[in-house]
Structures are given as structure tokens and as C-alpha cells.
Amino acid sequence: MPKNKNTSKVIHFMENCVLVLIVIATIYAIGEEIHLVIVNRTVSVGDLLLMFIYLEVLAMVHSFFESGKVPVRMPLYIGIVALARYLILDMKNMDDWRILSITFAGLILAITVFVIRIGHIKFPYPKVPGGEE
């Protein structure tokens, strides 16, 4: 199937527009979180983890701008941090089974990251001659 350059350009432009919107929304969310920290005059671990999640989102967008690809590991890292934040913030209100299930979900994500990293080392993507890496 031949590539239509105009369609490809439009899609690439739309991707970039959405990425810029994601960056703007993430920066806004970071600003809101910093504002709350200043107003409350306290910084909790939950606040720091939320800012770390925002940082990972920005890193993921940066990675996409640089390479045109999103590494699968980035959303997994965000998921791990989000689960950790959820546990830290709501642990007192959770029953034992919920805590165990969330912990198990985090473990599954961590194992998934490990397997993907091993897979990239043992079975790297083949290089395409004259194409993008």
C-alpha cells in the first residue's frame, strides 16, 4: 500500500498538536499542585508522587518528540507510581484484600517492566536499512 504523504503530514501535525496540549495540561496541573502545597504550607509524599507522575508524563512526551515512539515502559512506570500514591493516600481506609491486590498489581507492573527490559536486551529490534530506528 503506497504512503500518502499529505495524510501522513496531517496525522503527524495532529499528533504534535495533541502532544502540545498534553504538555500544557500537565504544566497547568503541576502549577495547581504547587499552588496547593503553598496554600496548605505542607508537602506530603502524595504531593511529591503526583508531581513525579507529572514529570513522567512530560518525559514520555519528550521521548515521543525525540524518537516518534513512546516506550512501553514509561506508562508502566507511571502506573507503578500511581498505585504507590494510591496506597499511601488511602491505606487507612482500605481493607487487607484491597491493599494486597493493589500491591500485587504493582508487582505485576514491575515484573512486566523487567521482562520488557530483558526482552530489549536479548531480542533487540532489527535495524531497518534507510528507515527510522
Question: What pLDDT digit, counting tens, does each position of 26-76 carry?
Answer: 999 999 999 999 999 999 998 999 999 999 999 999 988 888 887 788 899
Q: Mind listing the pLDDT tens digit for each residue in 94-129?
A: 999 999 999 999 999 999 999 999 988 888 877 766
Specify whether the CB–CB gap between 56 and 78 falls below 8 A: yes
Based on the domain organization, do 79 and 38 belong to the same domain? no
* pLDDT attached to residue 71: 78
Based on the domain organization, do 61 and 1 belong to the same domain? yes
Q: Is residue 114 included in any domain, yes or no?
A: yes
Chain-centre distance for alpha carbon 3 = 30
Based on the domain organization, do 57 and 81 belong to the same domain? no
Specify whether the CB–CB gap between 91 and 99 falls below 8 A: yes
Based on the domain organization, do 83 and 62 belong to the same domain? no
Q: Is residue 131 included in any domain, yes or no?
A: no
Q: Is residue 133 included in any domain, yes or no?
A: no
Q: Using alpha carbons, select from 127, 123, 109 the residue that is nearest to residue 72.
A: 109
Specify the number of domains making up the chain. Answer: 2
Task: Single out the residue in 32, 67, 102 at which a domain terminates.
Answer: 67
Based on the domain organization, do 58 and 90 belong to the same domain? no
Task: Single out the residue in 67, 92, 113 at which a domain terminates.
Answer: 67
Range of the domain at 107: 72-126
Q: Is residue 111 included in any domain, yes or no?
A: yes
Residues 6 or more apart in contact with residue 79 via CB below 8 angstroms: 109
Chain-centre distance for alpha carbon 93 = 27
Based on the domain organization, do 81 and 62 belong to the same domain? no
Q: How big is the chain, counted in residues? A: 133
Based on the domain organization, do 50 and 84 belong to the same domain? no
Based on the domain organization, do 108 and 59 belong to the same domain? no
Residue 75: left if φ>0, alpha if ψ -120 to 50, beta else—which one? Answer: alpha
Chain-centre distance for alpha carbon 125 = 22
